[in-house]
Chains A and B, each alone.
Chain A
C-alpha cells in the first residue's frame, strides 16, 4: 500500500551516481556551501560539549538504570554538580540570569527551583538530549537498512510481508508509538534507554523505504549478477555489495533525521516519559519548569533555546548536504 510512497520517491532521488564521483567531491561542495558550513560549526560545538560531558566522568546517564558515582574527576570550576542538590539552607533557588539586576555572575543562567546552577544543567543536558538523538537515529538506520535491503533484494513474498509490517509501524505517529512502547516495555517506569529503542523502531520505516528503493535498482546491476553466478552467498551479496552501493541517500536523510529525533525525544521527555529527574535533559527541564512559568520565566527559555540551536545545526547541515548531493541543483 502507498502510505507515504511519494515521500520516499522524493527523498531517494539524488545520489546513486554520486557515490561514484566520490566523497571528496561532496566534501568540496559542502565546504563551498554557506548553509552546510554554518550547520557544521553548530554541530561541531554541540558535539564537543556532548563529548566533554561524557568523558568528564561526573555524570554518565547512558547506562541502564545505574547512576555512576561522582568521584572520577573534578568538574571544571565553571560548573557545579549537575544533579546534586546544594545543602539545605545554602541553596539560592530560582535566581535570574546574570544580566538581570538580581542575578550573579557565578550563575550565568540563574538557578533552578532546587538551587542548582542552570548553566551546568543546560551544558550537561546535551549528554542525554544529543546522544540519545544520535543513538536512536543510528538504531533506526541499522534496522531500516537491514529490512530494506532484504526486502528489496529478495522481492516477492519476503518484500510483501516486510513492507506490510513497515507500513503498520509507519501508520502510528512516532510520538505515540514511542510512548506506548516505552511505557509498556518498561513495565510502567519509562526511562531514556527504552525511549532510544522506541525511537529506533519508529524510524525503521523511513530508512527501510529509502534503502529498498535504492536496492531495487542496485540489484539489477551486472556486478550483482556476476557475484550470484560466482556462487557468493546471498547474505554476503547483501552485506558487501547491495548495502554499500545503496547507502549514500540514506546517510543524507539520517543527518536530517537526527534533528527530528532530538525534537521527538525532547517531546517525550517533556511529557515525562523519557529522561527522569534529576537527570539533566532539555525536555525534562522544560517539564519541570512548566510549573514555574509564572514565577521564573528563564527556566522555560534556556532549554528550549538549546534544543532549537542544536536542531537548527543538524537541519542546516542536512540541507547543505542534500544540495551538494542533488545533481539537479549542481548542473
Chain B
C-alpha cells in the first residue's frame, strides 16, 4: 500500500469512530434524568405550556432516533445546532473560539518539544550523572503536578509578585495591532508572546515531562544499538553518531506520544483557559456546562474529539512516512 492509499485508509477508518462519538454525546445529552429543556430552564419559572413550546421548537417531542438522524444530517452540513443561551448557531460560536485554543495548544507543544528533546538527549548522554538526576526529578515533578496549579503558581510569581507578565487573556496575532492600541507589529508580536508565555508553560509542562522521559529512555536504548556500536567501531565521531544514527530512530516513539497526548492537552486547555481567563473553546465548554447549554456542549465535544482523532491520524502518517520499516496498515 502506498502512502496516499494509507492516508485515505486511515481517514476512512476514522469515520465509524466519529459516528460513534456523535451517538455517545447525543445519548448522554438526551438520556438524562429530566430532559434537556428542563435542564436549560433550571432556575427559570416555566409552566408546562412554555416547556412544550420549547420542546416543539427544538423538536424534542419527537422520538430519539429521529432527532439523532436530524442532528447527524445537520452535522454533515456543518450545522451543529443552536445555542439556547447565546442565541447563536453552535458552529459560529465554535469557529469564533477555536483560534485561541489552537494557539495555546500548539504553542504548548512547541514549548514541550523544544525543551524535552534536547534535555532528554543530554540526560541520556550523561546517564547517572548529576544532570540526569536533576532532569529526572524535574520530569517527575512535571508529570505529578496539575497543570492548573502550575498556572496558579506562575500567576502568583510572575504576575502578582514580580509583575513581569500579564495574568489573564491572550493577544491574538491574527487581529490587527490597532485593535489593542499597539504601536506597530513589533509591539504586537511582543505582547502576543508576553500573554502567551505563562499559559503555554502551564499547559506544556506535563507534555514536556512526558516527552523528556520517553526521549531519555529511547536515546539510552538507541545508543546501545548494534548500529551505534558499528559506527563507533568505524571511528565515526561521537557527535555524528548522536546526531544522525542514534537520534533519528529514537524520535519515532516521540511522534506517537505527541499524537496520543493531544488528548491530555485538549483536556488541559479547558483548565488552562479557565485559570488564565482565555476565551477559547475550553472556556466556552466551561460556560456551556455551567449554563447547561446542551447543544453547545455536544458541539464542542464533537469538535475536540475530532481534533484528537485527526491529530492521531496525522502522527500515524508522519510515523509511517519517517519509518521505512512500517508496512502501511498490514501489521497484526
A residues sitting closer than 8 Å to B (CB atoms) are 1-4, 6-7, 10, 164-165, 167-169, 171-177, 179-181, 183-185, 187-188, 259, 263-264, 266-267, 270-273, 283, 286, 290, 293-294, 297, 300-301, 304, 307-308, 311-312, 315-316
Size of interface on B: residues with Cβ below 8 Å to A = 61
B158 within 8 A of A: no
* Separation of A238 and B285 alpha carbons in the complex (Å): 41
Contact of A176 with B285 in the complex, beta carbons under 8 Å: yes
Contact of A172 with B271 in the complex, beta carbons under 8 Å: no
Known contacts A270-B148, A293-B155, A187 near B304 by CB under 8 Å = no
**16 cross-chain CB contacts under 8 A:** A2-B316, A173-B305, A174-B263, A175-B271, A176-B285, A180-B289, A183-B289, A187-B32, A259-B143, A264-B267, A271-B270, A286-B149, A290-B152, A307-B146, A308-B145, A316-B140
Contact of A164 with B17 in the complex, beta carbons under 8 Å: yes
B69 within 8 A of A: no
Contact of B146 with A270 in the complex, beta carbons under 8 Å: yes
The chain A residue with its CB closest to the CB of B23 is: A168
User: What chain B residues lie within 8 Å of A165 (beta carbons)?
Assistant: 20
Known contacts A168-B20, A180-B297, A294-B160, A175 near B146 by CB under 8 Å = no
Q: Chain B, 288-300, contact with A by CB distance < 8 Å: what is the 0/1 string? A: 0110101001001
The chain A residue with its CB closest to the CB of B262 is: A173
The chain A residue with its CB closest to the CB of B297 is: A180
* Separation of A167 and B274 alpha carbons in the complex (Å): 28
* Separation of A13 and B146 alpha carbons in the complex (Å): 28
- Having A300-B152, A315-B140, one finds 17 other A-B pairs with CB under 8 Å, namely A6-B260, A168-B23, A171-B305, A172-B308, A173-B308, A179-B270, A180-B25, A180-B29, A180-B301, A188-B34, A271-B271, A271-B274, A272-B290, A286-B149, A297-B160, A304-B145, A307-B145
Of A164, A172, A283, which is within 8 A of B16 by CB? A164
The chain A residue with its CB closest to the CB of B267 is: A175
Contact of B33 with A187 in the complex, beta carbons under 8 Å: yes
The chain A residue with its CB closest to the CB of B160 is: A294
Contact of A286 with B304 in the complex, beta carbons under 8 Å: no
Contact of B260 with A4 in the complex, beta carbons under 8 Å: yes
Known contacts A7-B260, A171-B21, A307-B149, A259 near B33 by CB under 8 Å = no
Closest Cβ of chain A: how far from B47's Cβ, in Å? 20
Contact of A7 with B256 in the complex, beta carbons under 8 Å: yes
B14 within 8 A of A: yes
Contact of B16 with A174 in the complex, beta carbons under 8 Å: no
Contact of B289 with A273 in the complex, beta carbons under 8 Å: yes
User: What chain B residues lie within 8 Å of A171 (beta carbons)?
Assistant: 17-18, 20-21, 305, 308-309
Contact of B146 with A304 in the complex, beta carbons under 8 Å: yes
